[in-house]
Amino acid sequence: MSAPLPLRNIAIIAHVDHGKTTLVDQLFRQSGTFRDNQRVEERAMDSNDLEKERGITILAKPTSVEWTPEGSDQAVRINIVDTPGHADFGGEVERILSMVDGVILLVDSSEGAMPQTKFVTGKALALGLRPIVVVNKVDRPDQRIQEVLDEVFDLFVTLDANDDQLDFPVLYASGRNGYASEDPDRREGTLVPLFQKIVDYVPPPALDVDAPFTFLATLLDRDNFLGRVLTGRVQSGTIRVNDPIRALDMDGNVIETGRASKLMTFRGLERVPVEEARAGDIISLAGLAVATVANTVAAPEVAVPIKAQPIDPPTLSMRFSVNDSPMAGREGSKVTSRMIRDRLEREGESNVAIKITESADKDSFEVAGRGELQLGVLIETMRREGFELGISRPRVLYGQDENGNRTEPYETVVIDVDDEHAGTVVEKMAIRKAEMTDMRPSGGGKTRITFSAPSRGLIGYHGEFLSDTRGTGIMNRLFDKYGPYKGKIEGRKNGVLISNGNGEAVAYALGPLEERGVLFVGVGEPLYEGMIIGENAKPEDLEVNPMKSKQLTNFRSTGKDDAIRLTPPRVMTLEQAIAYIDDDEMVEVTPKSIRLRKAILDPNERKKASRKKEAA
């Protein structure tokens, strides 16, 4: 059997939209992973539909390229892990970093070090990984390379980097155009300097090949033919197909025993079967039915588990319940609580940043996670799989300090906004109990404002923020800490228009309702009692009849039959709907529709519940 190739294991970390997936595309092309005539989609690593649509990386994915240094006849295998840039998916990042020996920190030459860069980089530096800094998009007309490098250095100092980590190498690159250089003024070339820097600077895995086999599961997925597939790095020893193995939990208890029925390693975008794997290899392993993320898979003689990285706790929760609206079961194929429970339990196994609790009535589930985006992606995925759900307003998870006082999660919020809108943003954030910690001009008529804000105050603010800034503002959020409870925060100011019956929306009825506020439904849409059809211009809720038809008579007069012209209704995305609803409201999610409704559909029952709440 041929000798294994020299190995390098690296993770690429960056803020959302700083270009890491595009850079990986170019690494594929220039290493010869793709044939010259092979048709490959852009952002090949963003393989799931939601990632393609949103342009963000949601799932961490390993891949590998082989590159032969100049003057050498032996290739080096570089295992690359493309990590999510959004802090909501940080559970992925924290585990992934235990698989690698070095990191490439990618920063945009204009935006610089952003809050989510701070999140992942802090985790990497704490593990002792030495970063290679790549300033990407150097061809941007608004690049400010030197200031960005100063920001990166300041960030490392803030994160308590050691002297070795502070002495980081720097490359200047354009991932889209496929070049990297140590010269900041160069605007052409290839990525050879980056390949060379990885080989020279990232150490090979310093692991014991002769010790018994151990492996820490960091990712879990399912295959229709192989069953459970665990992905991670071999920490010691060698494993061959059909070797006996067993899984240990964090306390060293044996969960199950079995055999390694299939071993796969990553070659480009594909998983390729192999007969054996050695310490340092990143592999996928099939053959176990119960073992999950953070479990140790090892040879039968191993009794001590590998220590897994602790995961930051969830900060936000939503209630997922069975859809009980009058339209339930019309569009989805998976509508029972048992199906929802099974699907959520599967998600909880593979996504360690999510916690699931079943309610006493067995019809709803409390799902806690990192943020609205993470839970929104889960709901959207379930919706596409045919599920029907009722989703409650997000609520933050409170804690307690040592004196028994209530604490709540705080976030660092960095906002880039045109100078003219800065005052409005500061005013709105102050209403939400946010404290401004920094404000500075960022060039090009823009201001960068940093706040420390309770997460509770930010729920539902993003839509209002985009309206206030005419769609030009950019908001980045990152969980910071648990701090003192800030008291009552004002929620949505406007009430809603509620349908008082079942039927279809009629133009004759919707015309006058437009004067009351903004409509969410159009002509011909099916409605039911308790469904929210629009936003009231006043603070109170208003029950209306959007199905009222014109009374036909024998008399006609001029002007009576003028065509009714309606403004197009406001159509909300899933995230906008979840952020919009109030505590007594829900979002009905089906494969084809997103509807807003009151949690209690019957108006009399609603009034009773409201009186009880006021009395309490």
Task: Give CA–CA dist 521/506, Å, rounded.
Answer: 10
* Residues flagged as binding site: 17-22, 136-139
By DSSP bridging, strand 526-527 and strand 503-504 are antiparallel
Task: Please give the Cα distance from 573 to 531 (Å, whole number).
Answer: 17
Q: Shortest CA distance to 501 belongs to which of 326, 240, 287, 288?
A: 326
- Torsion sign (Cα): 69, 75, 79, 82: positive
Give the whole-angstrom CA distance, residue 421 versus residue 401: 37
Q: How far is CA 257 from the centre of its chain?
A: 34
Residue among 148, 172, 151, 93 nearest 125 (CA)? 93
Q: Note the Cα 394 to chain centre separation in Å.
A: 16
Neighbours of 249 (CB within 10 A): 15
Bridge partners of 498, per DSSP, are 532, 543
Query: Which token pair is 463?
Result: 């839509």
Q: Which residues are annotated as a binding site for GTP?
A: 17-22, 136-139
To 5 degrees, how large is the angle CA 525–CA 530–CA 535? Answer: 70
Residues in the chain: 616
Q: Read off the DSSP letter of residue 612.
A: H
Query: Could you tell me which of 448, 437, 381, 390 has the C-alpha nearest to residue 414?
Result: 448
Rounded CA-CA distance 52/43 in Å is 8
Helix (H/G/I), strand (E/B), else coil: 156: helix
Eight-state DSSP code of residue 571:
P
Six token digits for residue 235: 């920490």
Please state, in angstroms and rounded to a whole number, the distance separating the CA atoms of residues 205 and 218. Answer: 17
Residue 372 — φ and ψ, nearest 5°? -60, -35
Residue in this structure with the two tokens 């308790």, named with its chain if needed: 530
Number of CB atoms found within 10 A of residue 435's CB: 13
Distance CA 46, CA 19 (A): 12
DSSP string, 536-580: ESSSS-EEE-TTPPPPP-S---TTTTPPPP-PPPPPPPHHHHHHH
What is the spatial distance between Cα 579 and Cα 565, in angstroms, rounded to a whole number? 30
| Tally of CB atoms within 10 A around 215 | 28
- Stretch (H or E) spanning 409: strand 406-418
Q: Which residues of 525-561 are buried (b: 16+ CB within 10 A; e: fewer)?
A: bebbbbbbbbbbeeeebbebebbeeeeeeeeeeeeee
Distance of CA 355 to the CA centre of its chain: 15
